[in-house]
A and B are shown apart, each in its own frame.
Chain A
């Protein structure tokens, strides 16, 4: 078991959270988006070894937030509420 810090609730069991993808992977907008851009959005992932910035949701309180964590050591470095803005 690992504890993740929800910006609203504080530390909670990892099973209460759901992964939402890479932070900053903005959905393309408009009718003339090239297919390469769509392919990048849908399929290409950074998959970094080390520090990663990811969007997560705490399913119990529906808080969406950006969590920065180390994919090697599992250390959580920060968690920041999205507050309706877009995580870059």
Chain B
């Protein structure tokens, strides 16, 4: 029987993976606490002390503790430290699910960032959209700005695919700039 193991590229070691081409640097973001909140978001805002609608697509998140809006009744809470509300069902009317292990985060920055966005999605990054959940490089992702960078959350099982896509696209962008 043929061994097809060599057909697939080895999954990157996210601890030291970096993609750098002229105008674009992409790296994984490790150590983020991620929680999916579903239900009464206002009640969660009270319980967590983190009120506000959450950033939509391509909006800028501030600080190390923020939320990204996914749907009318769902958001992703991101922080560097332990989250303020425990996972599980809360009688106030919302559920919190720990998804840190389920989602891989990438950060892209550089002068060619808009070129990357243009190749990944058909959305106009200047037009506001309430939800940060969108199709990015053909897969579902959560996309917003953080500082100068673009942050992209994807299901961990799709992270190696997205990395391959980013490698290929970054090379094309760099080649077009010559």
* Chain B count of residues within 8 A CB distance of the other chain: 18
Contacts A1-B122, A13-B123, A60-B140; A8 near B72 (Cβ below 8 A): yes
Q: Are A10 and B128 in contact (CB under 8 A)?
A: yes
> B169 at the A/B interface (Cβ < 8 Å)?
no
Asked if A22 CB lies within 8 Å of chain B CBs, one says no
Main secondary structure of the interface of B (DSSP, over half): loop
Q: Is the CB of A8 within 8 A of B71?
A: yes
Contacts of B164 in A (CB 8 A): none
Q: In the complex, what's the smallest C-beta–C-beta distance from A46 to chain B, in angstroms?
A: 29
Which residues of A have CB within 8 Å of B72? Answer: 8, 61, 63
A9 contacts B by Cβ under 8 Å? yes
CB nearest to B121 among chain A residues: A13
A8 to B56, alpha carbons, bound, how many Å? 11
Asked whether, in the complex, the Cβ of A9 is within 8 Å of the Cβ of B129, the reply is yes
Q: How far is the CA of A60 from the CA of B140 in the complex (A)?
A: 7
Check if A62 is an interface residue, CB within 8 A of chain B.
yes
The 8 closest A-B pairs by CB, nearest first: A61-B71, A60-B133, A61-B131, A13-B122, A9-B131, A9-B129, A10-B129, A62-B71
Could you list which residues of chain A lie within 8 angstroms of chain B, going by C-beta atoms?
Answer: 1, 6, 8-13, 15-16, 59-63
Residues of B in contact with A (beta carbons under 8 Å apart) = 56-57, 70-72, 74, 121-123, 127-131, 133-135, 140
